Amino acid sequence: MTETARSPLVLGAMMFGTTIDEDTSFALLDRFVERGGEWIDTANCYAFWASDTGLGGDSERVIGRWLAARPGVRGLRIATKLGAEPLEAGSWPERREGLSPAAVRDAFAGSLDRLGIDRVDLLWLHQEDRSTPIEETVEALAGLPADRVGVSNHPAWLVERGRAHARTIGAPPFDALQLNATYLRPRPGTLPPGVAHRFGVLSDEQADYAAVHGLEVWAYTPLLSGAYDNPAKDIPDVYDHPGNTARLAALDAVTAETGAARGQVVLAWLLSRGIRPMLGGSKLDQLDAALDGVELKLTPDQVERLDAADRHEWAAPYARR
């Protein structure tokens, strides 16, 4: 029997157990597995802003119950994040757990307990914590049962400092970045909706750093929460500028040539740049469309036209890998 090919799409489980009920969450996870999905991404703080308690953990609990109900499905890879959970309901962002050694150890133990597993495939630092030297965080991570460690919403210089210290102490260095990325570019000095971190949008420097040093890049909110294809949703104002007018024209042209949806072309384009897209949809048809999108193969000419649409290739925030 031929094994199902693994999909490069990441299933984001942010709203599982809050705005996405458990039955729907289970159905999405089952479909993801059925279609060759490999990576599930969650966080210990998901989704505190939508939970009854004002604290996170619901997403991890739902995934843990699903794993327990599907023995043998652990061939999947589980990624979770720590560092952003509020210390008390309503205290974020002023009071959150942060990345001190004690906070890292306690948060990770809680994640393993909720997930019902003894290790994770990838552990993310959710956002930077300037109150704790990155070296102390790296030393705490070195003893945890995580196969890999990555960073989300961190500046490139801090990532390099952490990697350098890991090499010094003989620990595995960070090998992945998780940031917001899509085909359209936000205006300089702005953050797209849903990005709460000043270093949360993939920049030219971060992309170049990742390409040169071989770090994997994961992209959250790549489909603008459905705005590429849902006429009821407007593309956010931060993307309203002449460069994106040209980019949307190129996207529409390639979309017409492929017969796919605009969002599917965006996913295929991200993969052409070596970026792994994440989907946080709440419906099976959204998941199926995204899984189809990452199977779409753009021609070199189509990729080139999408890359150069605004005539400023030197300013592109996505380095070729």
pLDDT tens across 66-89, in order?
999 999 886 799 999 999 999 999
- Whether residue 50 is predicted with pLDDT greater than 50 in this model: the reply is yes
What is the token pair recorded at 187? Answer: 């205006």
Instruction: Report the percentage of the chain scoring pLDDT > 90.
Output: 93
DSSP 8-state assignment for residue 142? T
pLDDT value at 279 more than 70: yes
Res. 167: pLDDT tops 90: yes
Domain spanning 10-315: CATH 3.40.50.450: no
The pLDDT value given to residue 75: 72
The answer to whether 191 and 200 are in contact (CB under 8 A) is yes
Q: Nearest to residue 275, comparing CAs of 150, 176, 156, 205?
A: 176
What pLDDT score does 315 carry? 45
State mean pLDDT over 21-33.
97
Overall average pLDDT of the 2-22 stretch: 91
The more confidently predicted of residues 281 and 244 is: 244
Q: Are 128 and 196 in contact (CB under 8 A)?
A: no
Q: What is the tens place of the pLDDT at every residue in 103-122?
A: 999 999 999 999 999 999 99
pLDDT of residue 318: 47
Backbone angles phi, psi at 180, to 5 degrees: -75, 135
Report the mean per-residue pLDDT for the chain. Answer: 94
Average pLDDT for residues 178-198, to the nearest whole number?
Answer: 95
Range 302-310 average pLDDT? 95
**Angle of helix 262-272 versus helix 242-258 axis, rounded to 10:** 100
For residue 286, give the nearest of 222, 228, 221, 226 by alpha carbon. Answer: 226
Confidence of residue 319 (pLDDT cuts 50, 70, 90): very low
pLDDT value for 73: 83
Q: Residue 316: pLDDT above 60? A: no
pLDDT at 3: 57
What pLDDT is attached to residue 4?
64
Give the global pTM. 0.94
Beta strands per DSSP E along 111-264: 122-125, 149-152, 176-180, 216-220
pLDDT of 312: 54
* Mean pLDDT computed over 180-202: 95
Q: Which one-letter amino acid corresponds to residue 202?
A: L
**pLDDT reported for residue 5:** 79
Residue where the block lists tokens 């899984």: 291
Cis peptide before 107, with omega less than 30 degrees from 0? no
